[in-house]
Structure 1
Amino acid sequence: MNDILVLAAQPEAWAALVTLIVMEVVLGIDNLVFISILTNKLPEASRQSARRIGLGLALVLRLVLLGAVAWIVQLTTPVFTAFGHGFSWKDIILIAGGLFLVWKATKEIHHNVDPEEHAGEIIGGAVKTGFTAAIFQILLLDLVFSVDSIITAVGMTDHLPIMVIAVVVAVTLMLIASGPLARFIEANPTIVMLALSFLLMIGMTLIADGLGFHVPKGYIYAAMAFSGLVELLNMLARRKRMKDRALRGEGASSAPTVH
C-alpha cells in the first residue's frame, strides 16, 4: 500500500499510467472488433452475456499473466533458429495467433460472400456459433494480444501496480464499448466486410512480427482509420440517396392525376 502511495506522488508514474492505458485501449481495438463479429453470430439473447463473460475472463487472464510477468519477459529469449532468425516463444505465439486470425477472417469473408453455400449455418443473418466456442476463441485471441501488450508494457515501466491499473481500465472501457460497437457492425453489413479485412491485415501483421519483420502499429491503425473514414462517407452518401429517392417517391405519389 505504501508503494502505491509513493507511486501516486510521482508525476512520471501518472505519465506512464496514462500512456499504458492509451496503448492498451489502442491494442484492444483489434480484440474488440473480433469480439463484436464473433458474438454477433450468437442468438441475440446470448450476445451481451458472451461479451461480458469473454471480457471478464480476458481480464482475469491478463492479471494472471501480469502476476507471471518475470516468466512472460523470458518468452523473448530465442529457443531455436531457422532461416537465420532466432524464434522465441513470443514469436511462436504471435505466428500461431496470426494464422488463427487469417483463417478466421478468411472463413467469415467466405461466408459473407457466398451465404447460400452455408445456408444451414445461418441464424439471424449471421453464421451461427456455439456459446462456449465463442468464449474460447475470445480467450485464445486475447492470450496472443496479452503477451504482446505485456511485453511492451514492461519496456515502458517496471511498476506492476501501474500495469494492473492500466489493464483494468482498458478492459473496462472495452466492456463499455463492446455493445455499441457490436450493434453498429450488425446494423451496417458493409462494415462487417471492412472489419474482417482489418482482422486479416492484423493477422498478417502478427505473422510478420513473429517472423522478425516489424511493422509499426501506427501504419496499421492509420490505414484502419482512413478506411473507416471512407466507409463512413459512403454510408452517409447511401443514406442521402435513399432519402432523396424517398422524397421523390412521395412527391410523385402526391402529384394530382390529370384526366
Structure 2
Amino acid sequence: MREGLMGWMNPMEWIGGPQAWFGVLGLTMIEILVGLANVVFIVILANEFPAAQRNGARLFGLGLMLLMRLWPLAQGLDWPVKFLNRSQLSVGPYEYTGQHLVLMAGGVLVLSLLFQGARSGWRIWKGAPDPADSGGGAGLRAMLVLFQIVALNAVFAARSVVTASAMASRVEVAMAAMLAAFWFLLRLSRPLARVAGTSPWQMMAWTALLVFANRMDWA
C-alpha cells in the first residue's frame, strides 16, 4: 500500500482503470461523512465572529480543512502514520501514542464546541444580543476562535488522512476523493451557515447529531 501511495509521479497510469474510479467514488462518500462534522463545527465557530466577518471565517476554515488533508498526502503519509502509531508521551507506567493524543485533543475540542453550539442556540432562542457584534474583547475572541478552527481541522484531518491511506491504492485516488468531497462540503456549508444563525432548535439538533457523529468517526 505504501508503495502505491508513494508512486504518484506517473499520474496518467491510473486514470483509465475502473477500479481507481470506484475507489474515488467510495472514498469520496466516506470523506463526506467524516468531513460533515468538521464543516458543521466550522460553521458554529464562524458564528462567533461579527456578522460581516462570518463568511470569511467560514471560507478560511474550509480552505484550511482541505490544505491539512492534501499536504500530508503529498508528503507520502510517512510521518503522520509514524506519529500516530509511535509512543509520543510517557506518564509513569503509561505510554501514549500520537493517536491517543489526537483523540484526547479531539474530545476536549468537541466538548467545548458542543457547549458553544448549545450556548448560541440558547442565546438566539432567548432573543439576546449577539456578543460578537458588541465589540468588547473582539480581538481576543477572534484569536481564540481562529485557534479553535486550526486545532479542530488538525484533529479531523488526522482521521481523514489515515482513512484515505488505508483505503486508497494510489495517492492520486486519495487526493481526487478529497477534492470531490471538499467541493460538495463547500457548497453545503453555505445553507448550513444561513440556518445556523437563525434557528436555535436546528442548532440544538445539530449539537445532538454531532455527539453521535463524533462517536462514529473516532470509534
TM category (shorter chain) comes to 0.7 to 0.9
- For 1:109, the equivalent position in structure 2 comes to 118
Separation (CA, whole Å) in 2 of partners of 1:170 and 1:85: 38
Q: 1:86 to 1:201 in 2, by over 3 A?
A: farther
Residue of 26, 39, 60 corresponding to 1:19: 26
Separation (CA, whole Å) in 1 of partners of 2:97 and 2:16: 38
Q: 1:110 to 1:204 in 2, by over 3 A?
A: farther
Question: 1:76 offset after TM fit, Å?
Answer: 3.7
Residue of 62, 66, 69 corresponding to 1:62: 69
Question: 1:85 offset after TM fit, Å?
Answer: 8.4
* TM-score normalised by the chain length of structure 2: 0.78
- For 1:196, the equivalent position in structure 2 comes to 207
Matched, 1:144 2:159: no
- For 1:93, the equivalent position in structure 2 comes to 102
- For 2:4, the equivalent position in structure 1 comes to none
Report if the CA contact (8 A) 1:98-1:202 is conserved: no
Separation (CA, whole Å) in 2 of partners of 1:136 and 1:172: 24
Separation (CA, whole Å) in 2 of partners of 1:52 and 1:38: 12
Matched, 1:168 2:175: no
Aligned residues: 204
Q: How does 1:34-73 map to 2 (within 5 A)?
A: 34-68=41-75, 69-73=77-81
Rg larger in 1 or in 2?
Answer: 1
Question: 1:101 offset after TM fit, Å?
Answer: 0.9
Question: 1:163 offset after TM fit, Å?
Answer: 1.1
Report if the CA contact (8 A) 1:21-1:169 is conserved: yes
Q: What are structure 1's unaligned runs of at least 5 residues?
A: 210-214, 216-259
Higher relative contact order (CA 8 A, sep 6+): 2
Q: 1:111 to 1:48 in 2, by over 3 A?
A: closer
Q: 1:30 to 1:45 in 2, by over 3 A?
A: same
* TM-score normalised by the chain length of structure 1: 0.67
Separation (CA, whole Å) in 1 of partners of 2:169 and 2:94: 28
Q: What are structure 2's unaligned runs of at least 5 residues?
A: 1-7
Supply the AA of the counterpart residue of 1:71: W
Residue of 143, 153, 156 corresponding to 2:164: 153
